[in-house]
Structure 1
Amino acid sequence: MQREAGGGRIFPQVWRLDPFSLRSRLTIGIATVSSVGLGSIALWTGWQMQRILINSHKQGIEYIAGRLPHDVELYSEMMPVETGLSKAINNLTTADTLLWVKHSNGKITAKSGNLKTQSDRGTAAALMSLTQMPSQAQVSEVNGRFFVLRGSPLQVREKAIGQLFVARDISGDRQMFLAMVWNLGIVSLGVLLTVTVAIAFYLRRSLQPLRQLNLMTQLISAEDLGQARLNLERAPSEVKELAQTFNMLLSRLSQAWEREREFVSNVSHELRTPLTIVHGYLQSVLRRQHNLTETQQEALETAASEAERTIHLLQDLLDLARADSGYLQFRLDSFVLNDLVAEVVGMARQYSDRAIAIETETHPIVVKADYDRLKQVLLNLIDNAIKYSESDTSIQVKLDGNPTAATIQICDRGYGIPLQHQSRIFERFYRVDEARTRGTGGSGLGLSIVKTLVEGMGGSVTLRSKLGEGSVFTISLPV
């Protein structure tokens, strides 16, 4: 049966802001490009609108400056030139346009008669005090207001009668333009935020297959390599190719893992028998000590000890290989746990000559487990407690039971295990201190065997340790 992940149906949706994620980077990148694009369009639009607005006013000023001499000529045929000039100026004067004619001596000979619409007569006076103006219409600021200004010589019938000045107030139009640009900026910002949110949700949905790949890899263990497969139905083609490659990788890893387990099982099985024979011959020779010198006896004892340690190591490897393959058998029977604990503690006292105390309930605690396997587990944990604690400290074995589970605690007052190592202490061949492990003869498989056997009997094993205060291994078994 395959473990599959497809269509986003088995994995929960997780919204988590990560500034370094691909989704955040794409969102920020697209939002930045969009903001630059919208900003450029807004600036270009504003610049074009301002240019059109100013050009329209400039054209109006140029039209007035070109028409006034013609009107003065028409009026001068019926009335004096000064009267015709004033009448022509008043005809071309509007609410936002001011005209005046200044003689060469600096005296104003005619000007717009209707100045009531001008917001500030001081501003009008400041304009009329100007002596020079551009010959082409230009925008200038006078007293905090903006005007389009133009000055040109005024001739009537080829006779110069002064300098014509035209000023059009565009402050109101400019304020309206700035308000429009401000509103355009606000709308652009709103559009940008909306687009950014939409992009973020779209990318979140588009990257969901990659999140499924990530979650799937977190769930896969060594035991699942042969069954775990990815099936992404509605993913992009690139992600589907990645999933297929990932499935091929899982298949190769599964085959490699299976070959490794078979190799360990075969090697352990093949080496255990000859080593057992060698160990038996060494023990037989050692029993005839009167024929051996002291050096020979010491060498044979060392060889026999190492052979025995290697046999135990091979047995542990064989048990682990069988557990990985599902061939490790357990004979689960009901028995009194108090009796087993007392037997194991008695054996440990005999071979270690250490003080080992038992704290147990007065009533018998019955569990359903494999008697021999549980004995192996307890001997292993007590042996660890003896090895990694001082010889003058005691070891406690606490036994407790309740209606649902029985617990066994092996407590020592030894060196303790650092916090960063506690989560990996049950891994195979993992050693907290290589030098100390070599000195005590450990292989790094003991606790892994303990965990495998206890879980195989339906229980659990946990560790609580503190440096300098010791460690407590707790086994929980169903009653």
Structure 2
Amino acid sequence: MVKLWPKIDPHSLQVRLIAGVATVSTMALGSVVTWMSWQIQHLLVETHKQNLEVIANRFPRDVEIYSDMVSLETGIQKSIDNLTNNNTLLWVKNSAGQIVAQSQTEMMDSKGKKLTLLTQVVPQPSLQEINGNYWLLSANPLITQKKLYGQLYIAHNITSEQTMFLDLTKSLILSSLLAIGVMLGAIAWYVRKSLQPLHRISEITQSISVEKLKDAHIQLENAPSEIKQLVQTYEQMLFRLSQSWDQQQQLVSNVSHELRTPLTIVSGYLQSLLRRGDNLTPSQREAIEVATSEANRTIQLLQDLLDLERADSGRMHFYLDLVNLNNLLTEVVEMTKKYSDRLCLLELLEATIMLTVDENRLKQVLINLIDNAIKYSEPDTPITLRLLHEKEQIIIQVCDQGMGIPLQQQVRIFERFYRVDEVRSRTTGGSGLGLSIVKTFVEGMGGTVSIYSKLNQGSIFSIIFPYEIK
């Protein structure tokens, strides 16, 4: 399945931009919707409040007019009947809190009873919900003939308008949520598209190796000017790195070439001196042997540096040919017996394995690994050279029963000049380049090298080549 979206990183610039813009946009849109709802509600209520204020101001005058012709109570009732309609109810309570007159409508019987029971009604019209209906209520003092008679209560039913307002508010909220969703999608798409040049730079730089530093160029079309400036600065940095790398490689090559010849001559003179120095004292002979050993070790170090420099510069050539691995491993074991008294066991397959490799390079790889196993294991423990065939792969293993390598250091042992134990490496004469040479040679022949190790139990170095049975 193709992933349409990469894994979300909460700390990425893309997520931060989307979250920031989306938050601000949502807050702005939410504020607009809230303000519009409040304005509509305010307009709706204010319009009806004015009607209630008109009724409250007119009612005392009507009562005084009717009371000139009939009794006060009758005048109050006539005034209430005159101002009552389908949506407006009125009732009057005297100073003792008793209802003396009220609207005579069906609405008063079905809905007005609960209204008349309300005791906390303020003079200013206020909106209240009662049994699913919305009412504007106000209570005003009723003054007739310059005397306070009681309280005039006015109730105006605005349920239809309020229901329409609530429906409108819900529609606004749903529309806002839909708009926010569309906006988030648009913002995510735009931010993702705007950051594509950065992702492209990351992809290109991941593919740049040391050998390609000089030819590395980042081509971006329709990129923002800031990104183009970043690319230009980055290419300048790559160019400087390429120059530094070339200078380093040239220095290593020159130094190695210049030192290897005189050191070879020194080593030859020292060996000649040992062969012909019958009159040397034991201490003198020991000193010359140490000098010879160090000279040879330095020559080998310089040769390793030259090999790595050739591999880095692409000048190392592998002469691949079909090789009988059974015979090659047998030959390596025989060579090991000549320069070491360590027991070296050989485990071969019954079938003859023919593999296309560089015979001399593979011998050097195996000798390096065996030499490494001898140095870092006890003298009374054997070294095992094993040939395996598993799942279309040929595996050559070099096994020891030595000190092992800590797990956190196993990923670095193939780095140049890296040593697991500096003190022990010094005493054993290691330069820190042996395993790096092994990795370079094996990969140059199309294989891979890996390690499995446990502390105080030993290590297994595996050289793996693809192999198809024909």
- Give the TM-score category using the shorter length: 0.7 to 0.9
Shift of the 322–83 alpha-carbon distance from structure 1 to 2, 3 Å rule, reads same
Alignment deviations for residues 247-274 of structure 1 (CA, whole Å, 9 cap, x no partner): 2221211111111111111110000011
- Number of residue pairs the alignment of both structures matches: 464
Equivalent in the alignment of 1:273: 261
Equivalent in the alignment of 1:50: 41
2:254 pairs with 1:263: no
Alignment deviations for residues 325-364 of structure 1 (CA, whole Å, 9 cap, x no partner): 2222333444433333222211211221010011224555
Give the superposition deviation at 1:380: 0.8
SS at match of 1:52: helix
Equivalent in the alignment of 2:23: 32
Alignment deviations for residues 285-304 of structure 1 (CA, whole Å, 9 cap, x no partner): 22234322222222221111
Equivalent in the alignment of 1:216: 204
Equivalent in the alignment of 1:3: none
Native 8 Å contact 2:320 2:357 kept in 1? yes
Structure 2 length normalisation: TM-score?
0.87
Shift of the 396–105 alpha-carbon distance from structure 1 to 2, 3 Å rule, reads closer
SS at match of 1:330: coil
Equivalent in the alignment of 1:150: 139
Equivalent in the alignment of 1:322: 310
2:91 pairs with 1:100: yes
CA distance in structure 2 between the partners assigned to 1:126 and 1:402 by the alignment: 93
Native 8 Å contact 2:93 2:101 kept in 1? yes
CA distance in structure 2 between the partners assigned to 1:409 and 1:42 by the alignment: 73
Equivalent in the alignment of 1:425: 413
Q: Which moved more, 1:41-50 or 1:106-115?
A: 106-115
Give the superposition deviation at 1:316: 0.4
**After the TM superposition, which residues 367-382 of structure 1 pair with which residues of structure 2 at under 5 Å, given as runs?**
367-382=355-370
Equivalent in the alignment of 1:167: 154
CA distance in structure 2 between the partners assigned to 1:394 and 1:266 by the alignment: 41
**Alignment-mate amino acid for residue 45 of structure 1:** M
Which structure carries more relative contact order (alpha carbon 8 Å, separation 6+)?
A: 1
Native 8 Å contact 1:367 1:478 kept in 2? no
2:222 pairs with 1:231: no
Give the superposition deviation at 1:85: 4.0
Native 8 Å contact 1:118 1:124 kept in 2? no
Name which of 431, 440, 444 aligns with 2:428: 440
Equivalent in the alignment of 1:293: 281
2:328 pairs with 1:351: no
Native 8 Å contact 1:123 1:143 kept in 2? no
SS at match of 1:290: coil
Q: Which moved more, 1:324-333 or 1:272-281?
A: 324-333
Give the superposition deviation at 1:55: 1.4
Shift of the 337–15 alpha-carbon distance from structure 1 to 2, 3 Å rule, reads closer
Give the superposition deviation at 1:275: 0.8
**Alignment-mate amino acid for residue 27 of structure 1:** I
Give the superposition deviation at 1:307: 0.9
Name which of 423, 441, 444 aligns with 1:456: 444
Name which of 111, 114, 120 aligns with 1:123: 114
Equivalent in the alignment of 2:238: 250
Gaps of 5+ in 2: none
CA distance in structure 2 between the partners assigned to 1:405 and 1:124 by the alignment: 92
**Alignment-mate amino acid for residue 264 of structure 1:** V
SS at match of 2:152: strand
2:231 pairs with 1:240: no
**Alignment-mate amino acid for residue 148 of structure 1:** L
Native 8 Å contact 1:411 1:471 kept in 2? yes
2:102 pairs with 1:111: yes
Shift of the 403–92 alpha-carbon distance from structure 1 to 2, 3 Å rule, reads closer
Give the superposition deviation at 1:16: 1.3
